[in-house]
Structure 1
Amino acid sequence: MAEKHNLIINGSGSYGGGFFNKIKIRGEGTITSDFECEAFKTYGTSSILKNGTAGKFDVYGEVEILGNLVVDEMKIFGTAAVGGTGAIRKTKVWGTLDLGNRFSGEEVDIKGSLSVKGDAEFEIFQSTGAFEISGLLNAGIVKLNPRFGTSNADEIGGEKIIVKRKLGFFPFFTGDGSLEARVIEGDEIFLENTRAEVVRGNRVHIGVGCEIGLVEYKEEFTADANARVKQHRKVG
Structure 2
Amino acid sequence: MVQATKRKVRITGSGQSSGGVYDSVHIMGEGQLFGETEADTFECMGNCVVKGNLKARNYRLQGEASIEGDMLANKLTALGQINVQGSVRGSRLHIRGQLEVGGSCGADSFQAKGGFTIQGLLSADRVEVSLYGPCAAQEIGGGRIDVRRSRVMGIKNWFSGKEGPLELTAESIEGDDIYIEHTHAEHVRGNHIIIGPGCRIGHVEYRQTLQKNKSAIVRHEVKI
- TM-score under structure 1 normalisation? 0.86
Q: Say if 1:191 and 1:207, in contact at 8 Å, map to a contact too.
A: yes
Cα distance in 2 between the residues matched to 1:47 and 1:174: 30
Task: Give the whole-Å Cα distance in 2 for the aligned partners of 1:202 and 1:174.
Answer: 34
Q: 1:208 Cα shift?
A: 0.4
Go from structure 1 to structure 2 and tell me whether the alpha carbon gap of 1:219 and 1:133 turns closer, same or farther (over 3 Å shift).
same
Q: Which amino acid aligns with 2:14?
A: E
* Residue of structure 1 in register with 2:26 after alignment: 41
1:217 maps onto 2:210 in alignment = no
Q: Kindly, what percent of the aligned residue pairs are identical?
A: 31
Residue 53 of structure 1 corresponds to: 38
Q: How does 1:31-180 map to 2 (within 5 A)?
A: 31-32=17-18, 34-147=19-132, 149-168=133-152, 177-180=166-169
Cα distance per residue 1:129-188 (max 9 Å; x no partner): 1111000001000011112x21100000001101112234xxx98977321101000011
User: Of the candidates 9, 13, 26, which is equivalent to residue 27 of structure 1?
Assistant: 13
Find the partner of 2:2 among 6, 9, 20.
Answer: 9
Aligned to 1:201: 190
Say yes or no: does 1:192 pair with 2:177.
Answer: no
Instruction: Give deviations 1:6-44, integer Å, cap 9, x for gaps.
Output: xx727xxxx8xx831x32111221223x32222211112
Aligned equivalents of 1:104, 1:42: Cα separation in 2: 22
Structure 1 gaps of 5+ residues are: 1-7
Matched residues in 2 for 1:159 and 1:174: separation? 30
1:161/1:186 contact within 8 Å kept: yes
Determine the C-alpha separation between the residues in 2 that align with 1:134 and 1:81. Answer: 16
Answer yes or no: is the 8 Å Cα contact 2:95–2:113 preserved in 1: yes
* Rg larger for: 1
Give, in whole Å, the separation in 2 of the partners of 1:61 and 1:99. Answer: 17
Distance in 2 (alpha carbons) for counterparts of 1:44 and 1:173: 29
TM-score, scaled relative to structure 2? 0.91
d(CA) in 2 for partners of 1:196 and 1:19? 50
Deviates more, 1:172-181 or 1:103-112: 172-181
SS in 2 for 1:167: coil
Q: Give RMSD over aligned pairs.
A: 1.9
Residues 173/71 of structure 1: CA separation in 2 closer, same or farther (3 Å cut): closer
8 Å CA contact 1:93, 1:113 repeated in 2: no
How many residue pairs match? The answer is 216
Letter in 2 for 1:177: L
Counterpart amino acid of residue 67 in structure 2: V
Q: Distance in 2 between matches of 1:174 and 1:184?
A: 27
* Matched-pair contact (CA < 8 Å) for 2:2–2:17: no
| Deviation (angstroms), 1:62 | 1.1
Q: 2:160 is matched with which residue?
A: none
Is 1:228 the counterpart of 2:213? The answer is no
